[in-house]
Amino acid sequence: MFKRFVLAASIAASLAGAAQAQTKVDFILNWVPGGDHAPYYFAKKLGWYAKEGIDLNLEPGKGSAVSTQRVGAGATPIGLADMGGVLVAKGKGADTVAVFNVYANSPQGMYWLKSSGIKGVKDFAGKKIGNPAGDGARVMWPALAKANGVDPKAVTWVNIDANGKLAALKAKSIDVTTSFYNIHHIFQRELGDDMGFLAWRDAGLNPYGNSVIVNADYLKNNRALVDKFVKVTQRAFAACVKEPNPCVQALVDANGALKFDNELVNWQLVEKLMSDKFSREVALGIHDDARMAADYDLVKEYIGVEKAFDVKTVYTNEFLDRSIKMTK
């Protein structure tokens, strides 16, 4: 009887110890949950983060600029943000380190109505561009404008909630809006043949897009935890590429307002953005040194860097499993 009591007590103590070993980690997304965030929800649902002692809290975001500010200031340890904006923020003192790249290709796109007479970036001058105040496209707009011979200040920015962009465009209260490619299908459905579209990557600008960033001090003090977080995340993205349905279902289960079919298409477009030579041949989630140097030069030339820095201080590939690659 006593032995059974000791055994039960031992098991209870072990379980309590396991529970105490969980470290809560806040992770702010770039925006509200969508298909592009499916791998995080999938890994959380399956307990992959918990198995590594990570109690992951996924927090909806309000734009890459906001998540960069939050992580840079140490208000949130980990976040998801557009790398172009991260480089700009680094020059202003935001101390973050990218540890996993999601978008190897820029997801940024511009949308307008063909019936407005707009044909491309050069026609944006004097027009109103509507998007959320914290949207990463605003940060990088000067680069796109200057690369296409347009004065960045020649447009008027209008604050529009993400869910109101299409309605504002249809109502012609704005002339142009911005969006990520992974919801391109929604614009096609709503605007039909009148949809005007330009992918930034087709306009001479293809910097790295969304990456997982970590506060530099947090990384310094929690390297083992970040290592586990990155490897779980990398494995989750690879699993979702291989079999997307369970991943999208996990996302929908955690966010009841989402529709499975829509988010599945969203994810399929994300896969295209994830794929480049380096993600396919070196490692899924990698930041290539030459590309990062080129992105730094792009930001420095077209937007400006308040205080110069070594671009290698703003990212690391050390936590990646090199055996995990994007499928060809």
Q: Are residues 211 and 262 in the same domain?
A: yes
Q: Are residues 37 and 68 in the same domain?
A: yes
The per-residue pLDDT for range 86-119, each reduced to its tens digit, is 999 999 999 999 999 999 999 999 999 999 999 9
CB 283 within 8 A of CB 317: yes
Which pLDDT value is given to residue 12?
43
Domain that holds residue 281: 22-104+207-313
Lowest mean pLDDT among 1-5, 121-125, 280-284: 1-5
Give the CATH number, domain containing residue 276.
3.40.190.10
- The angle subtended at Cα 66 by Cα 62 and Cα 72, nearest 5°, is 145
- Out of 132, 167, 202, pick the residue that ends a domain: 202
Q: How does 216-226 read in b/e, with b if 16+ C-beta sit within 10 Å?
A: bebbeebeebb
Q: Are residues 218 and 308 in the same domain?
A: yes
Whether 283 is in a domain gets the answer: yes
The per-residue pLDDT for range 290-316, each reduced to its tens digit, is 999 999 999 998 889 999 999 999 999
CA distances from 166 to 122, 159, 236, 292 (A): 22, 13, 32, 33
Q: Are residues 213 and 287 in the same domain?
A: yes
Which pLDDT value is given to residue 5?
39
What rounded mean pLDDT belongs to the chain?
92
Q: Are residues 222 and 149 in the same domain?
A: no
Q: Are residues 212 and 286 in the same domain?
A: yes
Q: Are residues 302 and 218 in the same domain?
A: yes
Q: Are residues 96 and 114 in the same domain?
A: no
Cα dihedral 285, 286, 291, 297 sign: positive
Q: Among 106, 105, 108, 81, which Cα is nearest to 94's? A: 81
Q: Are residues 116 and 147 in the same domain?
A: yes
Whether 264 is in a domain gets the answer: yes
User: Above pLDDT 70, what percent of the chain?
Assistant: 94
* pLDDT band of 11, cuts 50, 70, 90: very low
Counting the structural domains of the chain, the total is 2
Whether 239 is in a domain gets the answer: yes
Q: Are residues 162 and 211 in the same domain?
A: no
Which pLDDT value is given to residue 135?
84
Whether 9 is in a domain gets the answer: no
Which pLDDT value is given to residue 18?
47
- Would you say how long the chain is, in residues? 328
Q: Which two tokens stand for residue 36?
A: 């592009």
Whether 164 is in a domain gets the answer: yes
CB 33 within 8 A of CB 251: yes
Q: Are residues 92 and 112 in the same domain?
A: no
Whether 10 is in a domain gets the answer: no
Whether 16 is in a domain gets the answer: no
User: Above pLDDT 90, what percent of the chain?
Assistant: 85
The per-residue pLDDT for range 193-251, each reduced to its tens digit, is 999 999 998 887 899 999 999 999 999 999 999 999 999 999 999 999 999 999 999 99
CA distances from 181 to 48, 240, 274 (A): 29, 18, 12
Global pTM value: 0.86
Q: Among 34, 21, 294, which Cα is nearest to 184's? A: 34
Q: Among 307, 301, 1, which Cα is nearest to 152's? A: 301
